[in-house]
Chain A
């Protein structure tokens, strides 16, 4: 009698539908060696009919697996000799290399264009809208066949420098997973390899909007923005090589909405290399500048005054 009960439990185990309570019962029962032998006999029996008795879910999973096996076999043959600048992606290989997300974003029936670089290759791309992109190593960029008609959207992975043509009606959107960069006519370098824990965007010129789900942030000329892929948080840095103190002051004024008066100082024409965490308060930034440069920043009634120390 007990055996019959266990036989039925074993069947649910083979079918993957066993309850937590039965897992425990079966495990205890199997501790005896003769039971373990009996279990193997039942298993042999199951083996013969596993395919015929498979659930719909298992059958569907097998179909899917068989398909991806075929795809992989194909991709092995076609990935290597990749020479053309932009290639009209054969559905299978593109899908595997780039992930399903790309497929989902494409309107049905439209083949995506895709460009990809290998480990030792960079490639210049000229898009139809006039934008230019230099793909760095091991990077890929894809977009739908109707790119530029209604929207300008691309999927991206890796590192590239973008010089995006202005088009106020159709913002240029770069997607990296759930993270996106909306470009409002500009030049920048974006680095977002799938293995990176921090994505970075260095804006050379212009203005972009970065978005992760509901969070968004606007970056302007000279900004360096980091996106932490673990905490999903943005961090903006003001990074300026070769900037005049007077220009830096202008930037700070805009950034913190303050007024700074520069007293007569020889520093005004000095070139600075500077990196500021713009999450920091204005007071923190001032303190940092005072340590770095021979200056003093004092708060007056409605503005700040900067003078030589």
Chain B
């Protein structure tokens, strides 16, 4: 009940512009921790667009928490996509410098921080439980040690086709089981509930 009573003010064009100038710089800085600048800016841009499209449904209190959630989830989704197509080694993520914690302290101070690298790794590990241990091992050789299928085949004494089969099995699992982080209204309610 309480959530329906507090601050029912709606987002106007003016407040939207104000919000943009207030939060865009730090949100881009957050996203740049994981992605290159162009992708980071696009994600923040889209987060604001989403917010604007949902303005009828969104309430003004904790709007920054919602924005942060959208940006964070979109970063995560982009990283997952890259994990699947293999353009990103995920190892680097674990050692992103600085403090992700800071952004949680600012945007959602009462929530427990979940680090992007941890969440991603956990979801990938989970997705890969759907394939054989052999496929996991070969996939790791291909992604973490960046070995070519031919090199793996030589090391393990199997055919290149077999190696590719294992890698494809792992990729299929990632494609099928890596969940997309959903938003925006679900997260909005989550955020609200945290604050009650």
Contact = CB atoms under 8 A, between A and B. Distances in A.
Interface of A: 13-21, 23-24, 26-27, 30-31, 36, 39, 46-47, 50-51, 54-55, 57-58, 61-62, 64-65, 68-69, 72, 197, 230-232
B97 A51 contact: no
A266 B105 CA distance: 80
A36 B107 CA distance: 12
A24 B21 contact: no
A209 to B, nearest CB: 24
Interface of B is mostly: helix
Interface in B115-146: none
B62 interface: no
Interface string B9-27: 0000000011011101111
B175 A36 contact: no
A23 B49 contact: no
Nearest to B24: A58
Given A20-B98, A23-B102, 15 more contacts: A13-B102, A14-B25, A16-B26, A17-B29, A20-B99, A26-B102, A31-B105, A36-B109, A46-B22, A57-B41, A58-B21, A65-B49, A72-B49, A72-B53, A231-B171
Nearest to B113: A27
B191 interface: no
A140 to B, nearest CB: 21
B26 A27 contact: no
A55 B41 CA distance: 14
Contacts of A62: 17, 20-21, 24
Contact of B29 (A16, A26, A64, A232): A16
Interface residues of B, number: 31
Contacts of A47: 18, 22
Contacts of A58: 21, 24-25
B26 A50 contact: no
A275 to B, nearest CB: 19
B80 to A, nearest CB: 12
B181 interface: no
B113 to A, nearest CB: 10
Contacts of B44: 61
Q: What 10 A-B pairs come out closest when comparing CB atoms?
A: A16-B25, A20-B98, A23-B98, A27-B102, A20-B97, A16-B29, A27-B99, A50-B21, A23-B99, A51-B21
Nearest to A49: B21
A55 B25 contact: yes
A94 B110 CA distance: 44
Interface in B59-111: 84-85, 97-99, 101-102, 105-106, 109
Interface of B: 17-18, 20-22, 24-29, 41, 44-45, 48-49, 52-53, 84-85, 97-99, 101-102, 105-106, 109, 168, 171, 175
A30 B105 contact: yes
Contacts of A64: 45
Contacts of B24: 16, 58, 61-62
Contacts of A230: 84-85, 171, 175
Contacts of B97: 20-21
Contacts of B29: 13, 16-18
A256 to B, nearest CB: 18
B102 A30 contact: yes
Contact of B49 (A27, A46, A69): A69
Contacts of B49: 65, 68-69, 72
B12 to A, nearest CB: 13
The winner among A14, A30, A61, A197 for most chain B CB atoms within 10 A is: A61
A215 to B, nearest CB: 15
Contacts of A46: 22
Most buried by B among A13, A21, A23, A24: A23
B48 A65 contact: yes
B164 to A, nearest CB: 9
A137 to B, nearest CB: 24
Nearest to A10: B106
A178 B185 CA distance: 34
Instruction: Choose among B18, B25, B26, B109 the residue with the greatest number of A CB atoms under 10 Å from its CB.
Output: B25
Contact of B101 (A21, A27, A231): A27
B95 to A, nearest CB: 11
